[in-house]
Amino acid sequence: MAKELLKITQLKKKYDKEIYALKGIDLSINEGEFVVVIGPSGAGKSTFIRSINRMIDLSEGSILFDGVAMEKVKGKKLREQRANIGMIFQHYNLIHRSNVIKNVLHGRLGKVPFFKSLFGLYSEEDKQEAVRLLKKVGLEEQIYKRAGQLSGGQMQRVGICRAIMQNPKLILADEPIASLDPNSAKIIMEHLQTITRERKITCIVNLHQVDFAKEYATRIIGIKAGKVVFDGVASDLTEEVISDIYIGKEEEMTLQVENSEIGRFAYGEG
């Protein structure tokens, strides 16, 4: 039987006095699952994904990751837990002036002594692993180029390698293909699926594209107005279910759109 990696109980997030962005999420996610989270803008997808590694602090509830209550840990223990969680961002978050391999090696930051990472003293083994990963995603020609010279799709492939370089148990990907054209998006989803499957890494991905969710997810979770409204496999996600997730009461939508603008402003993204 698959082992439970993540147990989320009554997760709530309140950004201000009035509005709960997450209104009590209960979920159990097993090792090896490839979960795609879908839902309308402002539904709480990013908040959900970012609370797992405490990029955002939860207001109530509990997140048990690999047996450890994430809401309780701090300092060294929090860093150790985070070192086991890779993160992939919509805007890649690469160091543009560093070359590609250095960006990938940054994935080792949580796992090597600080002074070594400061002076770029990575082991030969780590360097070889970085090269192997870059070759795997078709970037062998780009290894020593500055990251800032790459296309968006190439940058995101570096982002995947950096996350894998952490040797994580879990990867969180927050809209990893939202800034890419359909062809590059497909390449990214293929690599993410193959690499995480081969290494048995659990993956949670936020997506706006329902067709991609259906193609790659082993499990799809629909979030709407801070609640889980769907949890199933692609074949359960009928047109009717999709419109239930995306089309809500008019006033609810208006509220979400308004709040979503605040959210984007606060995040400084997209």
Ligand X SMILES: Nc1ncnc2c1ncn2[C@@H]1O[C@H](COP(=O)(O)OP(=O)(O)OP(=O)(O)O)[C@@H](O)[C@H]1O
Q: Which residues bind ligand X (CB under 6 A)?
A: 15-16, 21, 39, 41-47, 256, 259-260, 262-263, 266
Q: Which is nearer to ligand X, 66 or 269 (CB)?
A: 269
Q: Which CB atom, from 4 or from 211, has the smaller least distance to ligand X?
A: 211
154 versus 256: smaller Cβ distance to ligand X: 256
Distance in Å, CB of 203 to ligand X, minimum: 17
Nearer Cβ to ligand X (141/258): 258
Is the Cβ of residue 43 or residue 228 nearer to ligand X in the bound state? 43
Q: CB of residue 128 vs ligand X: minimum separation in angstroms? A: 37
Which residue number, 93 or 194, has a Cβ lying nearer to ligand X?
Answer: 93
Q: How far is the CB of 40 from ligand X (least distance, A)?
A: 7
Q: How far is the CB of 175 from ligand X (least distance, A)?
A: 7
Query: What is the torsion angle, in degrees rounded to the nearest 10, for the CA atoms of residue 52, residue 6, residue 243 and residue 18?
Result: -40
Closest distance between ligand X and the C-beta of residue 25, in Å?
12
Nearer to ligand X, 39 or 107 (CB): 39
Q: Smallest distance from the beta carbon of 48 to ligand X, in angstroms?
A: 7
Residues 6+ apart with CB under 8 A from 226: 13, 20, 21, 22, 23, 24, 25, 43, 44
- C-beta separation of 172 from 49 below 8 A: yes
Angle, alpha carbons 30-214-247 (nearest 5°) = 105
> Residue 25 and residue 35: Cα distance in Å, rounded?
15
CB of 210 to ligand X, least distance (A): 13
Q: State how far the Cα of 214 lies from the Cα of 21, in Å rounded to an integer.
A: 25
